[in-house]
């Protein structure tokens, strides 16, 4: 049981769209990710997903609206809701989602990561 400094953890990797697991809470993983560019449309059939913005501006497109999130802002994307994250410049986010979640839902894409790393 150690404290976790988000900035220090973010300094340990550079890859984008590759969430790293930093902690676990009640069967859910806490992750950090660097995002840059456009991700793929997907949803997670059974899992809500929390995005908390540490740095930058993240756009999330939904089928019926677009949300712009800045540092210090968060959103929970409910299970089953299609979403497409877009980062015009590099964005650093904390994600919280069940440990069993699949990266791009049931969509298979070149960005899909099958196994995430703990840092």
Binding site for its own copies (CB under 8 A): 1-7, 23-26, 28, 30, 47-50, 62, 67-69, 72-78, 81, 96-98
How far is it, in rounded angstroms, from Cα 27 to Cα 36? 28
Q: Name the token pair of 107.
A: 């969509």
Shortest distance in whole angstroms from residue 44 CB to its own copies: 10
Of the two residues 9 and 36, which places its CB atom closer to its own copies in the complex?
9
Enumerate residues 6+ apart whose C-beta is below 8 A from 91. Answer: 34, 35, 36, 53, 55, 56, 57, 58
Of the two residues 66 and 111, which places its CB atom closer to its own copies in the complex?
66
Shortest distance in whole angstroms from residue 108 CB to its own copies: 24
Shortest distance in whole angstroms from residue 115 CB to its own copies: 21
Cβ pair 89, 37 in contact under 8 A: no
């Amino acid at each position: 049981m150690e404290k976790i400094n988000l900035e220090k953890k973010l300094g340990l990797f550079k890859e984008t769209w590759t969430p790293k697991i930093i902690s676990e809470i009640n069967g859910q993983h806490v992750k950090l990710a660097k995002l840059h560019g456009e991700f793929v449309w997907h949803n997670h059939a059974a899992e809500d997903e929390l995005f908390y913005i540490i740095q930058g501006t993240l756009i999330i497109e939904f089928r019926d609206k677009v949300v712009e999130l800045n540092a210090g802002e968060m959103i929970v994307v409910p299970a089953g809701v299609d979403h497409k994250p877009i980062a015009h410049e590099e964005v650093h986010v904390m994600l919280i989602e069940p440990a069993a979640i699949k990266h791009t839902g049931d969509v298979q894409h070149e960005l899909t990561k099958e196994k995430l790393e703990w840092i």
